[in-house]
Chains A and B, each alone.
Chain A
Amino acid sequence: MISNDEAKKHLIKALKEGVRLDERKVDEFRELKIEYGVSSTAEGSALVTCGDTQILAGVKIELGTPYPDTPDEGGLMVGMELAPIAHEDLESGPPGINAIEISRVIDRGIRESESFDKKKLCVKAGEQVWTVIVDLLPLNHDGNLIDIGGLAALAAIKNAVFPSIKDGVADYKNKTKDKVELEKLPIPVTVIKIGDSFLVDPTYAEEEMLDARLTVTTMDDGRLCAMQKGGDVPLTAEDVEKMVSLAVERGKEIRKLLG
């Protein structure tokens, strides 16, 4: 077996010539496909495929009591479980640090874009509000879980309808036609740095060799609403500029897929 260091040297050399392990260009995404309504028990769902990565997203919309400091606002939660069905390196058990970081980065992107009006999730101020909960499960993990998970979460929310209310509780059997209105589509795009090269949509193998990564979540008007740097190597300001502009560009294209 080739050691990771050897493989990385090889990869850096190839990347200098603009060649990736799967022959993509450095700024090229794998083919993205979105399938809506894949789970009848969820209020909304989607299955997003990007190359060999496949992520299932399901939305439940629950009734609950609001926080005392925001009595007329509902809530949103996004969570990803990294279950061992998706890759041999994953283990059973409570969410590890990777799953938590991915969940929080996706969650923050949607939250900070203020893409939906939390006041519209209010049923009765101080008493009852809706909480939108998105659960993400990678079925097959070949890298880039943040971007693909973020897209899957948005697709599932777009697909979601509210349950009706009967005697003060949610009646899941009788769904309404009311959609969760997404005013903006905050698209996370992760750019990774390996050696001197910048790549989008990394595979599992590429992620294992990254020096640094930057996830940039962009909104419809081209502005940014959330960022997260990862990896062990620092970035220069020029690096960040390059990575952000790549993320903005790819984000625009991905947004179109959500129609």
Chain B
Amino acid sequence: MSYERPDGRKHEDLRPITAKAGVIKNATGSGYFKIGNTAAYAGVYGPQEMHPKFLQNPKGGVLRCTYNLLPFAGMGDRVRPGPSRRSKEISLVTEKSLLPVVDLSEYPNAVVDVFIELTETDAGSRCAGICAAAIALADAGIVMKDMVAAVSCGKVAGNVVVDLDYKEEAYEGEVADIPIAMVPSTGEITLLQMDGPVSEEELKQALEMVKPAIQQIVDAQNKAIRDSFGGVKK
């Protein structure tokens, strides 16, 4: 256990978090989530009528997420604007990770759009996007069973760690990166991806280690929402 993380964190430590709600005035709801040097804005518009019409669902509203990396948000060269295969896949898994907690049954034929813009990234961008999106949905007053929080865990130099940054993802030896989204009250997992080799035992350890991290993120998200309603008196 002598592995030292590049930024000196303990294995179970998250990077510093900033969470805000109500950051985009025109949006129905909005959120900002920053963890380390990875930051995302999310804006929710809707529920409103779904266009094109053939995408409408008469049984309930549709959640539609769009993840976008801004051209200057990558660590290397400028990223070409517009959707890529990567951003489309992340949009899809973001949708799936949030869907289990939102209740859109009251809004047949409607769509709730979630636009996620990453302004800077140092690994963990899909997780930061999901965290911002969950804040935005709550801020928009969408009926939710619970919050959703996401963070990556994984294995670096044979050690299970939480919230990998780019330096760790780029570690020369074996690295596994496991982004996870979780419903805190039930422990249900709504996002699970992995790249890199791990043993069953290591995966179990990672899933264990991620729980307190998720709770910490949820606390930050909830605080952001409470703070944004701070001026409202009953």
Contacts and interface: CB of A to CB of B under 8 A. Distances in A.
A binds B: yes
Contact of B71 (A40, A60, A88, A173): A60
B73 interface: yes
B27 interface: yes
Interface stretch (A76-84, A180-188, A214-222, A248-256): A76-84
B24 A139 contact: yes
B27 A85 contact: yes
Nearest to B121: A41
Interface in A119-146: 133, 135, 137, 139-142
Interface string A180-208: 00000000000000000000000000000
Given A141-B26, A142-B26, A42 B72 contact: yes
Given A42-B120, A135-B81, A52 B25 contact: yes
A173 B71 CA distance: 17
Contact of A139 (B41, B73, B78, B120): B41
A217 B94 CA distance: 42
A20 B115 CA distance: 32
Contacts of A88: 26, 45, 48
B133 to A, nearest CB: 11
Given A41-B37, A60-B72, A142-B26, A84 B113 contact: yes
A79 B43 CA distance: 22
A157 interface: no
Contacts of B43: 84-86, 139
Given A41-B122, A135-B81, A87 B26 contact: yes
B77 interface: yes
A142 B37 CA distance: 28
A124 B77 CA distance: 20
Given A135-B71, A135-B72, A173-B75, A40 B120 contact: yes
A239 to B, nearest CB: 31
A87 B41 CA distance: 14
Contacts, number: 93
A45 interface: yes
A12 interface: no
B72 A58 contact: yes
Interface string A39-67: 11111010000001010101110100000
A29 to B, nearest CB: 18
Contacts of B100: none
A33 to B, nearest CB: 14
B138 to A, nearest CB: 17
B74 interface: yes
B82 interface: yes
Interface string B63-82: 00010101111111110011
Contacts of B23: 139
Nearest to B76: A172
Contacts of B75: 41, 172-173
B26 A83 contact: no
A39 B26 contact: no
Contacts of B120: 39-42
Given A39-B120, A58-B119, A86 B26 contact: yes
A81 B73 contact: no
Contacts of B163: none
A170 interface: yes
A19 to B, nearest CB: 23
A35 B42 CA distance: 20
Interface in A74-103: 79, 81, 83-88, 92, 94
Nearest to A64: B77
B81 A81 contact: yes
Interface of B: 23-27, 37, 39, 41-43, 45, 48, 66, 68, 70-78, 81-82, 113, 115, 117, 119-122
Q: Which 4 pairs, one residue from A and one from B, show the smallest C-beta to C-beta distance?
A: A58-B72, A42-B72, A60-B78, A85-B115
Interface of A: 38-43, 45, 52, 54, 56, 58-60, 62, 79, 81, 83-88, 92, 94, 133, 135, 137, 139-142, 170, 172-173
Given A40-B122, A56-B119, A58-B73, 9 more contacts: A38-B119, A39-B119, A41-B74, A58-B70, A62-B77, A79-B81, A81-B81, A83-B117, A85-B24
27 contacts: A39-B72, A39-B119, A40-B37, A41-B121, A41-B122, A42-B72, A54-B24, A58-B72, A83-B115, A84-B43, A84-B115, A85-B24, A85-B41, A85-B42, A85-B117, A86-B43, A88-B45, A133-B71, A133-B78, A135-B81, A137-B70, A139-B23, A140-B25, A140-B26, A170-B77, A172-B76, A173-B75
